[in-house]
Structure 1
């Protein structure tokens, strides 16, 4: 578990490799099956170059009430943010944890998942297949608009796949956002314009790929489907290593309980590149998790570097948490402290 001594703000190097496929193979597309934005959920291109405090970079106070709009990732729901959201609220802030369409309170649960009929689960149709990244963007943009009407600054935070929504919303309504924050999240760039393209990059190959855990044919189903209720010890070991290797077994079971089976294949391939004149003018922060096996640290570093190259006068403020896996520290205090102290 990381402690306060392990947290530092840093700028990623700017010499990121700008090559990389924009249309990954089907196998590469499957690599993102658990870009888990989590329930309960970089030898890289650029090494850290300089240290700077977030408040010092912006010179703005972090005191006062703001509204945090929190966006979950794939196979997840707004409940992922429960512990962090509670702590932010107790510090005097407004908190809205978004449920994306057919997630969370409106989640789709296959009948065969409940009964654990694995043969039927491999073919049961899913309405999630019809969802696109446009649907996710609209949901979050609507919440941001409503939050802005409350008054006070709005901070938009995305975890894992939630990062692609953050980028899209940053393009759509930059004037409503005081800061955007990526927590071990996908931040597509011109050379990697979608989540699929990020996962298919050389840096993305450092992630764990649950190929053997996929249920059914993603091409036929239109979704990436995972059976989180599996009793197979090998599958459970892969899931834990992938998303929260440092968690206790009890905490890991709580994570599994909140995971959703399906995520849209179409949404994974949606373009989500921040534009310099919109997204690029919003102050931004990246929470870099050093033991992430879903969004590999090598990929995190490349995404940070390519974003900074696009807007060199408005670079990421990076908080490095070297011992954190994909879901972050089991104790929410560390992440809460970072979010609470962001300058706006």
Structure 2
């Protein structure tokens, strides 16, 4: 049975940032649903817990029609992790696209590590400005991956090697820590030589990767 991709946007973004990616997935015969697609400014006054509740309910509804692959870009990774911890039985796979995946600490802990450097993000902000919203959720939560729940779900990480917003060293740090925590279920890792939002603006390669994650064996979730 074909899965449905539930797409969770990153910082200052709504579901419309996935328009091009959804088109590419549809051309490959895949259904997708962008979380927070209906509201013009969905994050005003909203907390991380609110986001998690919204996406969890979306996943519950979509799961009635087949497997669900939950995809998070950038800050959307916080929500992916929390939903996967809460309802692992509803997810066939999680996918992090240059996204936060907190394993041993909170976002603040990772920001203090050598893996994070504050690079020049000016060009990426200019490129993505038309798709940004003025508001942001109030917090990122404090959830870390639960090896008994999150760790039992197949998970993929898409490294964006030219990313100036999410340093490649930090992306690799998330992967290494998660693999150490769940060595029997490591990340399925892919790499694209693009910046933080390039894969959303020109999503052909990302769509190919996501389509590849939809290859299910008998008995898949």
| TM-score, shorter chain, exceeding 0.5 | yes
Residue number in structure 2 paired with 1:91: 28
Match of 2:110 among 191, 198, 223: 198
Residue number in structure 1 paired with 2:219: none
- SS of the aligned residue for 1:158 comes to strand
- SS of the aligned residue for 2:158 comes to strand
Which structure is larger by alpha-carbon Rg, 1 or 2? 1
Instruction: Tell me, yes or no, if structure 1 residue 156 matches structure 2 residue 29.
Output: no
Residue number in structure 2 paired with 1:324: 194
CA distance in 2 between counterparts of 1:201 and 1:294 reads 15
Instruction: Tell me, yes or no, if structure 1 residue 263 matches structure 2 residue 157.
Output: no
Unaligned runs of at least 5 residues, structure 2:
217-221
Query: What TM-score does the superposition give when structure 2 sets the normalisation length?
Result: 0.90
Instruction: Tell me, yes or no, if structure 1 residue 189 matches structure 2 residue 103.
Output: yes
CA distance in 1 between counterparts of 2:108 and 2:198 reads 22
| CA-CA distance at 1:79 after TM superposition | 0.7
Residue number in structure 2 paired with 1:76: 13
Q: Do the aligned partners of 1:171 and 1:274 also contact (CA within 8 Å) in 2?
A: yes
| CA-CA distance at 1:243 after TM superposition | 5.0
Residue number in structure 2 paired with 1:105: 39
CA distance in 2 between counterparts of 1:107 and 1:261 reads 8
Deviation above 3 Å: which 4+ runs of structure 1? none
CA distance in 1 between counterparts of 2:22 and 2:108 reads 29
Query: Superposition pairs for residues 20-99 of structure 1, below 5 Å?
Result: 64-99=1-36
CA distance in 1 between counterparts of 2:205 and 2:166 reads 20
Match of 1:275 among 136, 141, 146: 146
Q: Do the aligned partners of 1:165 and 1:272 also contact (CA within 8 Å) in 2?
A: no
Query: What TM-score does the superposition give when structure 1 sets the normalisation length?
Result: 0.59
CA distance in 2 between counterparts of 1:291 and 1:156 reads 24
**CA RMSD, 1 decimal:** 1.9
Q: Do the aligned partners of 1:293 and 1:326 also contact (CA within 8 Å) in 2?
A: yes
| CA-CA distance at 1:203 after TM superposition | 1.1
| CA-CA distance at 1:182 after TM superposition | 0.1
Query: Superposition pairs for residues 215-294 of structure 1, below 5 Å?
Result: 238-240=121-123, 242=124, 252=127, 255-264=128-137, 266-268=138-140, 270-294=141-165
